[in-house]
Amino acid sequence: MKATDVVMTPIHKEGHIFVAIFFVVSILLFYVWEPAAWVGLIVSVWCIYFFRDPDRIIPDEKGVLVSPADGTVCAVSEAPAPAELGMGSDPRTRITIFLSVFNVHVNRVPAAGEITATTYVPGKFLNAAADNASEENERQLIRMQTEDGHDIAFAQIAGLVARRILCDVKKGDTVARGDRFGLIRFGSRTDIYLDKGQHATVKVGQTMIGGETIIARNR
């Protein structure tokens, strides 16, 4: 963790209350037990780091999708889009990104276009890297029509310690590539389902920068 990451980078509005609570508790602990207060201050600084919301340089290349999240690609596989979105049962290329508690958790729209459906699905809090997390964990599903005519989907999926998914887009919204659209607390996963005529440009183990890394291209 770099000091400049904590001091200079803005934090998401969702983090303000958490940072305030941790700092107040830490100050109070100085009157009770000083060692615990220092632990509290460390947690407070980590909380600022977790909720950081850095600006990103969005690629302007035509026919590309950008990563919806920071993190590590843990799978590139074939799977149908979530049934709740009504996109049929044909397999699509699915790119899975795992976000640790040290990654930026602000999510970004992979392409310009129109949001055509959003669905929240309650569920479990299994390890987000597990294969069945896409079907069993709490998740927010989003379908969109890109400006170049592709029908894609992406999902915010809760993990072991994630307990809230925030999604700021709704059906009918027009969005630009790289726009912020939500956040997941505190460890999580993001899936993106490509359309026919698109191919993944990333590999398992590759590090993603949300809004910047090109994750797929039109064929």
Q: How far is the C-alpha of 14 from the C-alpha of 12, rounded, in Å?
A: 5
Q: What is the pLDDT of residue 127?
A: 66
Confidence of residue 21 (pLDDT cuts 50, 70, 90): confident
Q: How far apart are CA 15 and CA 17, in angstroms?
A: 6
- Tell me the catalytic residues: 188
- Range of lowest pLDDT (5-14, 59-68, 185-194): 5-14
pLDDT at position 38: 87
- Are 125 and 158 in contact, with CB atoms under 8 Å apart? yes
Residue 129, classed as helix, strand or coil, is: coil
Q: How large is the C-alpha radius of gyration of the chain?
A: 18
What Cα–Cα distance (Å) separates residue 120 from each residue in 10, 25, 66, 84?
28, 34, 23, 9
CB-based contact 84:121 (threshold 8 Å) = yes
Joined together, the tokens standing for residue 51 give 């909720």
CA distance 152 to 160: 27
**Domain residue ranges in the chain:** 3-50, 64-218
Query: What does the alpha-carbon distance between residue 178 and residue 118 come to, in Å, rounded to a whole number?
Result: 18
| Architecture, CATH, for domain 64-218 | Distorted Sandwich (2.70)
pLDDT band at 163 (very low <50, low <70, confident <90, very high): low
User: Taking residues 168-188, what's their average pLDDT?
Assistant: 91
**CB distance 95 to 194 below 8 Å:** yes
Q: What's the predicted TM-score (pTM) here?
A: 0.83
| Residue 80 contacts residue 92 (beta carbons within 8 Å) | yes
